């Protein structure tokens, strides 16, 4: 059985906020060393890894 639309929208919104927190948090952390752009790059890389792992886990459960 599939989740209701409202639950899917909320899950998507919370996931977006988590990814934004990771990206901007790592940007701020790397800014302490004067390399904010590297922090954004690492944050985006971490989010890509999380998405790939989630897709792989979802396919494994089928």
C-alpha angle with apex 59: 57 to 61, nearest 5 degrees? 70
Mean pLDDT of the chain: 93
Sign of CA dihedral 48, 54, 55, 56: positive
Would you state the pLDDT for residue 3?
84
Per-residue pLDDT at 50 exceeds 90 = yes
Q: Judge contact between 48 and 35, C-beta under 8 A.
A: no
Per-residue pLDDT at 1 exceeds 70 = no
Q: What is the pLDDT of residues 20-32, one digit of tens each?
A: 999 999 999 999 9
Mean pLDDT of 45-57: 94
Would you state the pLDDT for residue 58?
85
């Amino acid at each position: 059985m599939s989740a209701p639309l409202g639950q899917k929208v909320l899950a998507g919104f919370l996931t977006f906020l988590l990814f934004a927190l990771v990206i901007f948090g790592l940007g701020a952390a790397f800014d302490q060393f004067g390399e904010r752009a590297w922090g954004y790059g690492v944050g985006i890389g971490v989010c890509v890894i999380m998405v790939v792992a989630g897709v792989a886990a979802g396919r494994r459960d089928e």
